[in-house]
């Protein structure tokens, strides 16, 4: 059904033998992972398991200690320095969109200015074209009517939806979400998850660090479980939730289940 | 009876009553402070009026001042206002640039840059402003660098205030969360773009009110530049006519009034800017 299956088989994100140390602390242990196009991957695990660090290594917000990150064909060796390395990191960042737990919108810019900032300043596309693109994306997260507001006038859920629009307007090949709903009031989580579902349906490759097991089960194509800096399980959600193999995964899912009932 | 008239007549809640008492208390306090101010100003005016005032059995005689001298020299002394403001503006501009550089240096992880910044701040804060003005005006010529009184003053004031204000800018830069930097990096901004587009605008907004305070302080410290004898600002003019005609009292009172009114005006402008910034609150 896919005429260019050779290309679609090529992963968008390819992590090989990644290690990360914080001082003496070995927080990521020899991680390898391929994410093919259009796949939605949820990364779960207890806090301190290294899942956020792994995500942040993909766009080099954390510099890997060693190993290779490849995003859409751009290969970067971890732990290197110098101009060439910085250029590669820059190229990788243009291919990745990131959504943070704390939104991190620019408070001195309006919603629209936030969204066009990257395309205009970094990619250098014309302001007019950037605005068109930005308005399209703001519309799809349902916030076009807020485009002239400043972020402090928005609810947490609205801020996060703007942050998603900001990342999408850079036209990335993969979207990274770092606990996108953890800083939100419970009643605002749904609107953000709905937007994320929409992004997934539109065919975006996504890697999502989350505690939202419901989202993982419903939207993810694949769930990865991390514990103590290692990937301990890699399965489709149905298998993972019904018959977890690793005892740590089982403990995680049991905790979630008991929370669900409570 | 309509819904609205009913609510209007409804008795006030406990909380509303307490709030009203609080508001009334505050209003009374402010009214009394205002009245006391008026009395103090009145006493000050009377003290220099030359009038005799009898309170009970005691008679106070006010200080006699020569109003004729004041009237004659008013335009001459007032003519220094422009120069005072000019020095202050030039110096604050220089001070802001130096303060920002020093603050960036202070946050740098490159040892020589960090050292240069702390060295500058330490040296300047460790020596008197008065000495610095003389250094630029009197000591530099020995090295073949001759500065006019104005430029010596502006350099000294700018360097001096720059060192003190670096702390303000450092606080401003540190007030911008690390998440802002990460968000900028994640969309591919270079460190320079991140600084210019994301960090600086927020840091400067944070720094505006304290910089305003420094500017107000500087308008008064600019009086020290008169010591060079070549800058005809307020202080220089008032001491010149005061000494020449032995009317230092009158001359200095006039200069003091000019400085005071200028400070009041600037403080008022400052408060307007501050409320406007607070309203934006972003």
Chain B residue numbers with beta carbons less than 8 Å from the beta carbon of A100 are 179, 182-183, 186
d(CA A245, CA A261): 23
pLDDT of B247 above 90: no
**Contact: B188, A151; criterion CB under 8 Å:** no
Q: Convert the pLDDT of each residue in A152-173 to its tens digit.
A: 999 999 999 999 999 999 999 9
Quick one: B7 exposed, middle or buried, by C-beta within 10 A (0-12, 13-18, 19+)?
A: exposed
Q: Convert the pLDDT of each residue in A202-230 to its tens digit.
A: 999 999 999 888 899 889 999 999 999 99
Measured CA to CA in angstroms, residue A224 lies from A216, A221, B276 at distances of: 10, 10, 50
Q: Convert the pLDDT of each residue in B256-268 to its tens digit.
A: 999 999 999 999 9
* CB distance B133 to B66 below 8 Å: no
Measured CA to CA in angstroms, residue B36 lies from A164, B176, B261 at distances of: 58, 43, 19
pTM recorded for the entire structure: 0.80
pLDDT of A261 above 50: no
Chain B residue numbers with beta carbons less than 8 Å from the beta carbon of A117 are 187, 197
- Is the ipTM reported for this complex over the cut 0.95? no
**Contact: A123, B188; criterion CB under 8 Å:** yes
Spell out which chain A residues touch chain B, with contact meaning CB-CB distance below 8 angstroms.
59, 61, 90, 93-94, 96-98, 100, 102, 104-108, 117-118, 121-123, 150-152, 166-167, 170
**Contact: A167, B201; criterion CB under 8 Å:** no
pLDDT of B176 above 50: yes
pLDDT of A130 above 80: yes
CA of A101: which chain B residue's CA is closest? Answer: B179
- As its CATH architecture, domain B67-278 has Orthogonal Bundle (1.10)
CA of B187: which chain A residue's CA is closest? Answer: A118
Highest mean pLDDT among A118-122, A234-238, B206-210: A118-122
Element (H, E) at B53: strand B52-55
Domain ranges of chain B: 2-61, 67-278
Query: How confident is the model at residue B8, as a pLDDT?
Result: 58
**Contact: A118, B189; criterion CB under 8 Å:** yes
Interface test with A, best of B176, B178, B180, B187 (most A CBs within 10 A): B187
**Contact: B189, A121; criterion CB under 8 Å:** yes
């Amino acid at each position: 059904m896919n005429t260019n299956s050779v290309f679609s088989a090529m992963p968008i994100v390819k992590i090989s033998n990644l290690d990360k140390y914080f001082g003496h602390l070995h927080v990521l242990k020899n991680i390898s992972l391929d994410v093919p196009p259009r796949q939605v991957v949820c990364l779960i695990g207890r806090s301190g398991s290294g899942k956020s660090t792994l995500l942040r290594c993909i766009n080099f917000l954390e510099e890997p200690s060693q190993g290779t990150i490849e995003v859409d064909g751009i290969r970067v060796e971890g732990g290197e320095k110098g101009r060439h390395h910085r250029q590669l990191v820059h190229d990788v960042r243009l291919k990745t969109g990131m959504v943070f737990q704390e939104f991190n919108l620019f408070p001195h810019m309006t919603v629209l200015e936030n969204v066009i900032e990257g395309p205009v300043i970094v990619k250098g596309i014309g302001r007019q074209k950037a605005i068109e693109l930005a308005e399209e994306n703001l519309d799809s997260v349902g916030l076009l009517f807020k485009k002239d507001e400043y972020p402090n006038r928005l609810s947490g859920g609205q801020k996060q939806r703007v942050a998603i629009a900001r990342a999408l307007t850079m036209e990335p090949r993969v979207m990274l979400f770092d606990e996108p709903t953890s800083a939100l009031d419970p009643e605002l989580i749904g609107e953000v998850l709905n937007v994320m579902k929409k992004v997934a349906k539109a065919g975006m490759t996504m890697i999502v660090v989350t505690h939202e097991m419901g989202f993982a089960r419903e939207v993810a194509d694949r769930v990865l479980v991390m514990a103590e800096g290692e990937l301990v399980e890699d399965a489709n959600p149905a298998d993972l939730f019904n018959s977890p193999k690793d005892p740590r995964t089982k403990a995680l899912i049991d905790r979630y289940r008991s929370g669900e009932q409570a | 009876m309509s819904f609205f008239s009913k609510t209007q007549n409804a008795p006030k809640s406990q909380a509303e009553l307490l709030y009203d008492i609080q508001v009334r208390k505050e209003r009374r306090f402010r009214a009394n402070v205002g009245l006391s101010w008026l009395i103090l100003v009145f006493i000050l005016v009377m003290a220099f009026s030359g009038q005799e005032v009898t309170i009970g059995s005691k008679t106070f005689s006010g200080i006699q001042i020569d109003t004729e001298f004041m009237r004659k020299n008013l335009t001459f002394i007032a003519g220094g206002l422009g120069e005072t403001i000019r020095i202050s503006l030039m110096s604050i501009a220089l001070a802001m640039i130096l303060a920002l550089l020093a603050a960036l240096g202070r946050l740098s992880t490159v040892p020589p840059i960090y050292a240069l910044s702390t060295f500058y701040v330490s040296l300047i804060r460790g020596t008197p402003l008065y000495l610095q003005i003389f250094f630029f005006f009197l000591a530099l010529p020995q090295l073949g660098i001759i500065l006019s009184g104005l430029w010596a003053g502006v350099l000294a004031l700018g360097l001096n205030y720059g060192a003190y204000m670096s702390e303000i800018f450092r606080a401003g830069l540190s007030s911008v969360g690390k998440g802002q930097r990460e968000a900028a990096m994640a969309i591919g901004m270079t460190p320079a773009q991140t600084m210019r587009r994301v960090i600086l605008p927020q840091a400067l907004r944070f720094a505006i009110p304290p910089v305003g305070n420094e500017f107000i302080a500087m308008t008064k410290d600019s009086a020290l530049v008169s010591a060079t004898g070549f800058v005809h600002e307020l202080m220089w003019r008032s001491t010149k006519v005061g000494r020449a005609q032995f009317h230092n009292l009158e001359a200095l009172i006039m200069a003091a009034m000019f400085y005071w009114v200028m400070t009041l005006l600037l403080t008022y402008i400052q408060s307007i800017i501050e409320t406007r910034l607070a309203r934006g609150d972003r």
